[in-house]
C-alpha cells in the first residue's frame, strides 16, 4: 500500500513510494569456490538477483557459512528478490562461472 493524495483544484496527484531511495546495480561471479554475492548492508531494503547463465544453476546461502551445492539455487535466467540486510554467498552449480546481476534498493 502507498499513500496517495489527489488535489482536485490543481489536478495533481502525489504518491509516496515504498521502495528505497537509492538504487545500485552491480554484478558478482559465482565460481568453483564459495564467494560473496553481496555484503551485509544495514541500509538495504531489498536486492534483486538474476542468474544470467544459459544452462547452469547458481547456489546461494545467507547463513554466514560457505555456500555449497546443497544450498538453494537460482535456475538459469531466474531472478529472486531478497529482503535482507544480511550478506549472501554463492557458488556455481556446474563447470561454468556465472555472472549474477544484482540490483539493490537502499534507504
> Going residue by residue through the chain (107 aa), what tens digit of pLDDT does each one get?
456 666 677 767 665 555 557 888 999 999 999 999 999 999 999 999 999 999 999 999 988 889 999 999 999 999 999 999 999 999 999 999 999 999 999 88
| pLDDT at site 87 | 93
pLDDT in the model for residue 31 = 97
> pTM here?
0.79
Report pLDDT for 15: 59
Residue 104: per-residue pLDDT:
93
Cell digits for 20? 528505497
**Which 8-state DSSP code applies to residue 38?**
E
Q: Who contacts 7 (Cβ-Cβ below 8 Å, separation ≥6)? A: 13, 14
Look at residue 63 in the predicted model and tell me its pLDDT.
85
Query: What backbone phi and psi angles, to 5 degrees, belong to 19?
Result: -95, 160
Amino acid at each position: 500500500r502507498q499513500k496517495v493524495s489527489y488535489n482536485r483544484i490543481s489536478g495533481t496527484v502525489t504518491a509516496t513510494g515504498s521502495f528505497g531511495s537509492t538504487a545500485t546495480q552491480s554484478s558478482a561471479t559465482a565460481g568453483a569456490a564459495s564467494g560473496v554475492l553481496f555484503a551485509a548492508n544495514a541500509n538495504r531494503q531489498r536486492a534483486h538477483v538474476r542468474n544470467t547463465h544459459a544452462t547452469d544453476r547458481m547456489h546461494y546461502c545467507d547463513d554466514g557459512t560457505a555456500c555449497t551445492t546443497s544450498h538453494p539455487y537460482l535456475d538459469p535466467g531466474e531472478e529472486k528478490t531478497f529482503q535482507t540486510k544480511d550478506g549472501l554467498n554463492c557458488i556455481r552449480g556446474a563447470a561454468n562461472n556465472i555472472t549474477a546481476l544484482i540490483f539493490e534498493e537502499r534507504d
